[in-house]
Amino acid sequence: MQPLSTFLGTTPPQAAPVVDFIKPLTKEDEKTSLDFFNIMNFVLGYCLTLPNEKALRESFATIGIEGGKTFDPAKLSPEMRTAIEQGRADAWEAFAGGVKELNEGKLTSGDIFGSRETLSDNYLYRWLGTIGIYGNAQAEAMYPIYRVDSEGQPLTGSDNYTLHFAPGEYPTVNAFWSLTMYELPQSLLVANPINRYLIKSPMLPELKKDADGGLTIYIQNESPGKELEANWLPAPKGPFATYMRLYWPKEVALDGTWKAPKLEKVK
């Protein structure tokens, strides 16, 4: 491998300036520390002001939130400080409510992923989109998320679950679909004895169908037994989430006619 300038025999471009990155906060401190706004100012220094956000950025600047500047909490009046702290608490409450609606299926990936034009000034949905960074717009992919079971309880490897597709009710796609396992809170793939990290539509010929032609996927930490192991998606021992991905979804998925089934806890 060599620089392009060497390959072309041209003068190399000037090196990019070294960025003195600001120290990040912990996830918990992000919610309450006023140092968050210094991080915000650092990031805003690399963000162009869009015409439709000019008034918003000017409003931010009145309290010291401005790209490249230092945010000084000491300059805030007690009333302003209280208002900012309450506003942040309200924002995190709204975010938690949005996550709950995603878990319940009241919001979908199509609501929170997409272009700036699609999401417009719905900053809550844009924020919720950080749950699955790099998500495609709905026409390209849909992402039914499983973080809770059908009764709203968080998923854990101490329990066993099934995901059942009735005959003719498999995910409706023009390309392919998949169901991937992630250990929480790391959101990483899960080491397992059969080296299986997802179940996807190209595997359908190898999966065991139900007597009526449907499909049941077994989601649990330990094998469901040799006869059912073809349909086993191994889970960790602790908390986890599974993400379904529908690539190039068909219209019945896009318009909500087809709905992802619930994850059922085995009792």
Q: Which two tokens stand for residue 66?
A: 């401005």
pLDDT of 237 reads: 97
Sequence-separated contacts (24+) of 217-225 with Cβ below 8 Å: 217/162, 217/163, 217/164, 217/179, 218/160, 218/161, 218/162, 219/160, 219/161, 219/162, 219/163, 219/181, 219/263, 220/157, 220/159, 220/160, 220/161, 220/266, 221/157, 221/158, 223/193, 223/194, 224/160
Q: Which two tokens stand for residue 53?
A: 């956000």
- Nearest by Cα to 265 from 158, 191, 182: 158
pLDDT of 30 reads: 92
pLDDT of 115 reads: 87
Per-residue pLDDT tens listing for the chain (267 residues): 899 999 999 999 998 899 999 999 998 999 999 999 999 999 999 999 999 999 999 999 999 999 999 999 999 999 999 999 999 999 999 999 999 998 888 888 888 998 888 888 999 999 999 887 778 889 999 999 899 999 999 999 999 999 999 999 999 999 999 999 999 998 899 999 999 999 999 999 999 999 999 999 999 999 999 999 999 999 999 999 999 999 999 999 999 899 999 999 998
Residue 108 CB: number of other CB atoms within 10 A? 20
258 to 51, 103, 246: CA distances (angstroms): 39, 17, 12
pLDDT of 118 reads: 86
Residue 5 CB: number of other CB atoms within 10 A? 11
pLDDT of 106 reads: 87
pLDDT of 116 reads: 86
Asked if 262 and 161 count as a contact pair (C-beta separation under 8 A), the reply is no
pLDDT of 240 reads: 97
SS3 label, residue 160:
coil
pLDDT of 108 reads: 85
pLDDT of 261 reads: 95
pLDDT of 117 reads: 87
Asked if 64 and 71 count as a contact pair (C-beta separation under 8 A), the reply is yes
Domain boundaries, the chain: 139-265
Q: Give strand pairing partners of 217.
A: 163
Q: Which two tokens stand for residue 107?
A: 């919001």
Asked if 196 and 234 count as a contact pair (C-beta separation under 8 A), the reply is yes
Residue positions counted in the chain: 267
Single-letter amino acid code for the residue at 183: E
Q: Which fold has domain 139-265?
A: Jelly Rolls (2.60.120)
CA–CA dist 6, 29 (Å, integer): 46
pLDDT of 131 reads: 81
